[in-house]
Amino acid sequence: MTTTETRDGMTLGRKPHPVSGGPIVQLPTAFGDFVAQAWTDLATGAEHLAVSSPLPPVDGQAPLVRLHSECLTGDVFGSYRCDCGEQLAYALEMINEFGGTLLYLRGQEGRGIGLANKMKAYALQEAGFDTVEANEQLGLPVDARCYKAAAQILAELGLNEIRLLSNNPDKQDRLAQAGVKVVEMVPTEVPSREQNLRYLQTKKDRMDHLLVLDVEPAASAGQGRGRFEHEQD
Ligand SMILES: [Zn+2]
C-alpha cells in the first residue's frame, strides 16, 4: 500500500495514478442511452470503460457509481455461478434512471487473479473448497484488485463525491484511501440462486459483504460438496 492515507479520506499528498481518457461517444444500449469513454491505465496498460448517463443525477443527488470488475463468465455468458451479470444489469438500470457512471474495470477477472486462475479456483470449489479457500490453495490473493486507476478516472470525471452501488465495504474504504468520498452505499443485491448461494454466503461471512440472503444457507446443505461458487466483487 503506497497510497498516502490522510484524515477524512482526503488526498493530501497523493500522487495521481496515470490514466488517459479517449473521446466520449454515444452508446445506445438495451438499458438506455449512455455515453462511453475508454480510459487507459498508463501504469498497467489495462483499458477500462466509463459508461455514463448523459444527464446529471436527479434531485441534485451525488451520482451513482458502480465499479464493476470484469467477469467474462457472468457478464457475457450470464453464468449463475456468481451474481456479476445480474449486478451489471441492475447497475445500468439504476444509472439510466437516476444518473451516474458505471466504470467497467478490465483486467480484474476473478477479483484480479485472471480468467485461467478463476477456472482453476472453480475446479477447487467443485472439490468442496469455498471461494476464499480455493484462492489460498492456489497460492493467490483472495482479492488482488487495485482501485487506484478507478479512483483517478473518477477524479478526472469530476466524480469526487459519489453514491456507491455496492455491497462491499472494502471498496468504500479503498476509494476513500484513494481520495473519492462515498457519501452513501446503495445496495445492489440481486436474488440469490441455488447455484450461487454458497458463493454469496462466503462473501457475506468471510468478506464482510452487506448481504441479506433470502434463502437459508441450510437449503443447500446435505447436497454434497461442490456447490457452485466463484470469485468476484
Ligand atoms: Zn462473476
Contact 95, 102 (CB under 8 A): yes
Q: Give distance in angstroms: CA of 57 to centre of ligand 1.
A: 28
Taking all residues of the chain, what is their mean pLDDT, rounded to a whole number? 82
Is a pLDDT exceeding 70 seen at residue 40?
yes
Residue 226 within a domain: no
Q: What pLDDT is attached to residue 14?
A: 64
Q: Give distance in angstroms: CA of 232 to centre of ligand 1.
A: 5
Active-site residue flag, 130:
no
Residue 1 within a domain: no
Mean pLDDT in residue range 176-190:
85
Q: What is the pLDDT of residues 64-108, one digit of tens each?
A: 999 999 999 999 999 999 889 999 999 999 999 999 999 999 988
**Within 13 Å, how many C-alpha atoms sit on residue 9's CB side?**
16
Residue 225 within a domain: no
- Quote the pTM value: 0.78
Range of the domain at 136: 7-220
Residue 233 within a domain: no
Residue 187 within a domain: yes
Q: Give distance in angstroms: CA of 74 to centre of ligand 1.
A: 5
Q: What pLDDT is attached to residue 108?
A: 83
Q: What pLDDT is attached to residue 207?
A: 66
Q: Give distance in angstroms: CA of 80 to centre of ligand 1.
A: 8
Residue 232 within a domain: no
Residue type (1 letter), 84: C
Q: Give distance in angstroms: CA of 5 to centre of ligand 1.
A: 30
Contact 74, 81 (CB under 8 A): yes
Instruction: Count the domains in the chain.
Output: 1
Residue type (1 letter), 121: A
Question: Residue 150: in which H helix or E strand, if any?
Answer: helix 148-156
14, 66, 81, 145: the catalytic one is 145
Is a pLDDT exceeding 90 seen at residue 6?
no
Active-site residue flag, 193:
no
Return the CATH number at 60. Answer: 3.40.50.10990
Mean pLDDT in residue range 190-205:
71
Is a pLDDT exceeding 60 seen at residue 172?
yes
The set of residues, in sequence order, having a beta carbon less than 8 Å from that of 63 and lying 6+ positions away, is 56, 57, 99, 100, 101, 159, 162, 163
143, 163, 198, 233: the catalytic one is 143
Q: What pLDDT is attached to residue 1?
A: 39
| Paired strand residues for 4 | none
